Amino acid sequence: MSPSTSRTAPKSKRQNNRSSSASSSRSGKAKKTPQKKQPKIDEKLGLSLYEAMLRTFLFEDRLNTLYRQGELFGGLYTGSGNEAVSAAAALALGKEDVIGPSHRGIGVHFARGVSFQDMMLQLMARGAGGTKGRDNAAHQCSPEFGVLGNISHMGAWTPVAAGCALAGVIRDEDIVALSFIGDGSSSLGVFHETLNCCSVMDVPFIMIIENNQYAYSTPNELQFRCEQLSDRALGYGIEGTTIDGTDIELVYATIKESVEAARRDKRPRLIETQTMRMRGHSAADEGSYVPRELLETWGKKDPVTQYEKVLLKRGWHTEDSIRELRESINAEIESAVAFAKASPLPETETVLEDVYAETPAPAAYPSATAQTMTYLEAIRETLLEEMRDDASTFCIGEDIGNFGGPFKITKGFLEEFGRRRVIDTPIAENGFVGLAIGAALWGMKPIVEIQFADFVTEAFTQIVYNAAKMHYRTGMPVPMVLRMPVGAGMSAGPFHSANPESWFCHVPGLKVVAPATVADARGLMRAAIRDRNPVIFLEHKFLYRRIKEAIRPEDAFIPLGQAHVDREGDRATIVTYGASLHRAREAAEQLSDEGMEVEIVNLRSLLPWDRETVFKSVRKTGKVLVLHEAPRTAGFGGEIAAEIAENMFEYLDAPPQRLASHDTPVPFAPNLEQFVLPSVEDIVFRCNSLIEY
């Protein structure tokens, strides 16, 4: 099949609004459309396309020399052979649109307006570079030009770019997002999840597959068996097109047409550009695995030299004007190199800055009267208040709309806020969490529901690499909440009972919250929504309807990172969080009946956690038991105990103790489940042992 053909999935009958059913009719076979005619490009545009390619070609040529001279740090990834795709895509978008380049997409930055100087500062890891020396050369982020910086996990950036377009849909703005993925990365699940989510959610998103024939050293025949990669569009009910990626005018016209169509109908598109990676995977890779004759064949289709011939033939350039342009660009490059070399590396003191975005002091929040409610109602009411108060908030997740979520927390939200702000998604945590991150970057405040905390593993890359590291490397905040029902006690078995706090407390850039009371659930949820960082909100599902407490107006906002002394005592301290607080309370009552008063510190926030409140209690009692429901080994309690031992040693009358679940998965049978969890009797016994130490 010719590389300049298009396949179009059949259009389904869709309603005019976004509430159309995801099961709309999509019958029929893909149709092969006629080969596209060579587009008409005027002189001004043609010269811009050529210069954009040439700037990339000459800059990368200089980079290869600098790399060999040891002037660049880390790896170097160039887009030799793909210059036409980068330039055309960047120029085909509007100023309001967003583009997420691949690690070979340096030309995207230049075509969107980024200077050689700024890029060279980034490549040479200078303090004035885009990431202040914190991220490597391929990950430059230029949000002022609508360019997002990818991460090393191939393909993981695609849903984030699409999420920027989702933000536009919610706000009724005409934003189109475009992102790149390689032929190899199109085998990833995130490729499927992103396109499927964008299709059913009507997101104007263009995904470009740069088919470079090799995924690192693996040829296409070992990567996929479909006739062409754009054929995959049929499964998502969207238009798919395959084109010659070395013909810049064809690439530009195809992308431009797709962008304009996506802006009109709010539908995604898939474009496969057939090209060849003319250098190795990186500058350190000779690419000896590629047959020489294949490189020679593609070398004859070099997009820069091909287009030079076209421009000369049309009289838009002359040999002299091309030479002058090259000299001018090279001079600009040398100036940028000299400037970057003369610029200092980042000061070491700055390495600890910007892990978190600063969150301003809390503004006014809805007035509240003293009232009694359940833990679930506290979460629900706070979500409702924040959604009503701030139009930039929206909820997204599986079954949260029509069904109201498995625990009915969002029941009725769809009727009040509509499908743009209460978004039911496919079963695709990787995809919809990535979309939420992108929406957060582009001015929204997503509240993501992970149906059960156990399922968050499907979105691990998005959370710990995209969301958590974003502000540190780009300065862009990611204000989002990830709600996760956690914990045991409901005979839900080993796949619906996780307590995953330790997974996330090890990740700088995240905040982790574990409310134990009704007041915690209400006040911490409001603080989490108003925070400018990604917050993991661990809702213990055993508590949803089992505790009902009176809360005060001042409980409407509880700052993150602030612990609470739940019970005063002087014989020992129990440090705990989540559902374990209630077992600690029962144990404290029993100990009190025996004449021993223990103090209970409810952490509430785990990252950051309130060391001062804990240390103050330890100085008072001299003995401490750290209690949690998660398994003991590598549990978060070990971190607390270690900090106490290191900093409070002179005040301790006994070694810090830990009490946690056994190191097993959570079993299904009720008696087995109760056996592995720390019981009230266990807490009483351990406290007695401490007191008698």
Show which residues are catalytic.
496
State residue 340 phi and psi, 5-degree precision: -65, -40
Distances (CA, A) of 462 to 5, 166, 200, 217, 423: 34, 16, 20, 26, 19
Number of neighbouring beta carbons within 10 Å of residue 114 = 20
Instruction: In whole angstroms, give the CA distance from residue 340 to residue 575.
Output: 51
State residue 633 phi and psi, 5-degree precision: -65, 125
State the DSSP string of 449-477.
Answer: EPSSGGGGGGGHHIIIIIIHHHHHHH---
Q: Give the DSSP letter of residue 142.
A: B
Q: 331-337, long-range: CB within 8 Å, 24+ apart, which pairs? A: 332/116, 333/58, 333/59, 333/62, 333/116, 334/62, 335/116, 335/117, 336/115, 336/116, 336/117, 336/119, 336/120, 337/62, 337/66, 337/120
- Helix (H) or strand (E) segment spanning residue 661: strand 657-661
Q: Residue 566: which residues within 8 A CB-CB, separation 6 or more?
A: 581, 584, 585, 600, 601, 602
Instruction: In whole angstroms, give the CA distance from residue 159 to residue 655.
Output: 48
- The alpha carbon of residue 8 and the mean position of all alpha carbons in its chain are separated, in whole angstroms, by 30
Q: Which residue has the tokens 């000896």?
A: 288
Q: What is the CA radius of gyration of the chain?
A: 28
From the list 561, 593, 592, the residue with the least C-alpha distance to 577 is 561
Instruction: In whole angstroms, give the CA distance from residue 605 to residue 298.
Output: 57
Q: Which residue has the tokens 């304009």?
A: 260
